[in-house]
Structure 1
Amino acid sequence: MNWPTERELPEGRHRLLKEFVMTEIDKRPAKRRVPRLAVLAPVLGLAVAAAVAVPALFGGTPAYAVEKRPDGLIDITINEAKNPEQLQEDLRAMGANVVVTYIPRGKKCSPQPRSSHFLSQEDAPLAPFPVPGGKTEPGFAIDPRVIGEGQTGVLEFSVSENNGGVVAGIWARVGQDPIAECELVDTTDAPLSH
């Protein structure tokens, strides 16, 4: 099966699609009072194509889960938007040279871009979609093998509250080193607009 490539959908359309999905999620009526985390799949590095809900878990449940698959991909599930430093450390221990940033609503990373050169999703599909092997659980996967020498994967999660739950968007790309630190600054734009 042939999946659309990044070139078939201009960047402006990626952003429009992402904003549409986020708006539709905002319009959903809250059916129960239990907070939920909606994780939006990273498609072509910028756009969001699907939303899946993950029940917010309380008590002893970790903020996230990571698992390295036999095919080399790393599955990541975010249960709560906290502790990005530990997630980054755990991913690096699994062989993924990445930086992880959580971005709350009304904020964005500065400076932009954080790298002098980001590789295209076609050249370095850090977060392949659809995920090979038919992963259907909530979350997403990254492929650390696409990060070459002198490069770092950048994972940015936009997190905002919505109807008693949390909505998260994901931006995943590979950039040439060095990757600038993320300083959160105020914005009225979409937090993951690059």
Structure 2
Amino acid sequence: MRFEEQILMELKAEMTARAERRHRTRRRLFTGAAVAGLAAVTAIAVPLLTGSEQPAYAVAENADGTINVQLNEFRDADKLERDLERLKVPADITYLKSGKSCEGNRGKIVGGASPEEWEGSASDKAVRLRPGKGLTIDPRHVGTGQTLVMAFTERNDGAAEAAKPAVQWQLAAYVVEGQVKPCVVVDDPLWDDADRPGEPSPAGS
């Protein structure tokens, strides 16, 4: 084999390996924590009630200082941010349609740029999902000058259709140091059928 051919083959192999690593990272973001239900980013499907007379969300402070949030509808994000601010949690909340994401890096993420580096950091510990019952925020992991960034993405797949009137969502959450850049909504290039959950979670009570 000529030297040029060998270099070309090595380059192709490296490009393929990088693509596979990106896909594995993405899959880990969306499904890696689904088994335990504990992670900063996960895709556990949590029913979001629509067409009801309930408030858009409910917030409750627990005795240990943590905060439970139950979403009922994708609205009033600004008001939820204000309610969390009163509970000492600066938050940036975005509701996204299925197949959408926020473009690029929105700030300096606590724990590192990659979710693989977040383990044990504030970005890993600030939010815990309660399957079927929303999520729990721990203010102790959102320090001075930091903001909890949460992007809720609607799931529009067969499982969500079967669960109507519930709409299901996935959550991406992390802590940003300093200023948070606005969410520029774009098509998610890595969104495909393989990333979608197979079954809905039980409805929250």
Q: With the length of structure 1 as denominator, give the TM-score of the two structures.
A: 0.68
Alpha-carbon shift at residue 61 of structure 1 (Å): 0.7
Within 5 A, what are the aligned runs for 1:1-194? 13=24, 15-16=26-27, 43-48=38-43, 50-53=44-47, 56=49, 58-110=51-103, 112-119=104-111, 120-124=118-122, 125-128=125-128, 138-161=133-156, 162-163=160-161, 164=164, 165-190=166-191
Task: Verify the 8 A CA contact 1:114 1:179 in the aligned structure 2.
Answer: yes
* Higher Cα Rg, which structure: 2
More helix as a share of residues: 2
| CA-atom RMSD in angstroms | 3.1
Tell me the residue number matched to 1:7. Answer: none
Runs of 4+ in 1 over 6 A off after TM superposition: none
Deviations 1:45-96 (A, max 9, x none): 2234x44445x25443111111111111110011111121111111111111
Deviations 1:118-163 (A, max 9, x none): 322412111136xxxxx67611101112111221111110113331
More strand as a share of residues: 1
Alpha-carbon separation, structure 1, partners of 2:133 and 2:175: 23
Change in Cα spacing, 1:171 to 1:41, as seen in structure 2 (3 Å) is farther
Q: With the length of structure 2 as denominator, give the TM-score of the two structures.
A: 0.64
Task: Verify the 8 A CA contact 1:109 1:183 in the aligned structure 2.
Answer: yes
List runs of 5+ in structure 2 lacking aligned partners. 1-20, 112-117, 196-205
Tell me the residue number matched to 2:6. Answer: none
Alpha-carbon separation, structure 1, partners of 2:128 and 2:54: 27
Alpha-carbon shift at residue 184 of structure 1 (Å): 1.1
Between the aligned residues of both structures, percent identity stands at 27
